[in-house]
Structure 1
Amino acid sequence: MRRWLSLVFLLVAVLLVAWAGYQGYARLRALEGQVTALANRVQVQEQALKALGERVGKLEEEVFKAPAPPLSLPEVPGAPSAPAWPYALGVVVVAVLLFFLLQLLRGNRGKKEGEARETPPPQENLEAARMEEEGAPPRGDQGEGSR
């Protein structure tokens, strides 16, 4: 009985191997069919691209043969100029204001000079004040002999 049992196992193994081989063969045929279909699609697309390339070439020839005006920039519209009278009026107003400011400063300076002339300072104080204005240090209560 062992002999029959081993033959049955061997037959089952052969059948499984045959079934697996058939499945592999079927899958291979399906893949070959898909590859063939893809190759056909690629050929059709190549032909379509060649046809489009020829059409584009013909269009380019027509475009280059057709006369066309030369390329140029569009004309810029003239911008309206700003009126000049506000600037002239501003210059006149500033000049008048400067004139009045200078007159005011001259009037204040004339009043100060007039007051200064009314009270004449002593000679020593005048000389010391002039020296201090020129940048000398103040002398204090020292006389002229202490230089």
Structure 2
Amino acid sequence: MKRWLGLVLLLAVALLVVWAGYQGYARLRALEGRVAALETRVQSQEEALKALAERVGRLEGEVFKAPAPPLSLPEVPPAPGAPAWPYAVGVVVAAVLLFFLLQLLRDNRRQEEARGQEPPSQESLEASRMEDEGAPPPRKG
């Protein structure tokens, strides 16, 4: 029985090795297929790039053959004018401030005139009437 058991184990190990080899071979074939597909894609892309390079070369030739205007600096756009509203607001504010200043000066002048024209006293009225009649002015002192 020992003999059969060894042969069975040897056969099982051989089957496992064959199965693992087959799986490795199948994976290798799949990888070879993928590599072949990638090579095909790379070749088609190379051909497309070559065709594009030829077209670009022809276009460059046409562009360089075509007459071009001389190089010059671009035209400077005209500068927009300054807005007028800040100036108008400034003039109005200055006029209002000037008006208030003149009103203040006029009020100060009226107050000074009012202080300077105190109602005459009885004595000053008598002295001025006497001066009008020809009397000498009174002496102060």
Tell me which interval the TM-score lies in, with the shorter structure as reference length: 0.5 to 0.7
Structure 1 equivalent of residue 46 of structure 2: 46
Unaligned 5+ segments in structure 2 are: 120-141
> What do the CA deviations read for 1:94-144 (whole angstroms, capped 9, x no partner)?
4xx75x96488358526625743768xxxxxxxxxxxxxxxxxxxxxxxxx
Unaligned 5+ segments in structure 1 are: 120-147
After superposition, the CA RMSD in angstroms is: 3.8
Structure 2 equivalent of residue 134 of structure 1: none
Write the mapping of 1:105-124 to structure 2, written as runs, cut at 5 A: 105=105, 108-109=108-109, 112-113=112-113, 115-116=115-116
Structure 1 equivalent of residue 20 of structure 2: 20
Equivalent-residue separation in structure 1 for 2:10 and 2:103 (angstroms) = 133
CA deviation after TM superposition for structure 1 residue 54, in Å: 1.6
Equivalent-residue separation in structure 2 for 1:7 and 1:107 (angstroms) = 134
Structure 1 residues 116 and 58 mapped into 2: Cα distance closer, same or farther (>3 Å)? same
Structure 1 residues 5 and 102 mapped into 2: Cα distance closer, same or farther (>3 Å)? closer
TM-score, normalisation: structure 2: 0.55
CA deviation after TM superposition for structure 1 residue 62, in Å: 1.2
For 1:43, the aligned partner's letter is Q
Structure 1 residues 76 and 107 mapped into 2: Cα distance closer, same or farther (>3 Å)? closer
Write the mapping of 1:80-95 to structure 2, written as runs, cut at 5 A: 94=95
TM-score, normalisation: structure 1: 0.53
Write the mapping of 1:2-13 to structure 2, written as runs, cut at 5 A: 2-13=2-13
Instruction: Report the identity percentage.
Output: 63
Structure 1 residues 103 and 6 mapped into 2: Cα distance closer, same or farther (>3 Å)? closer
Matched length: 110
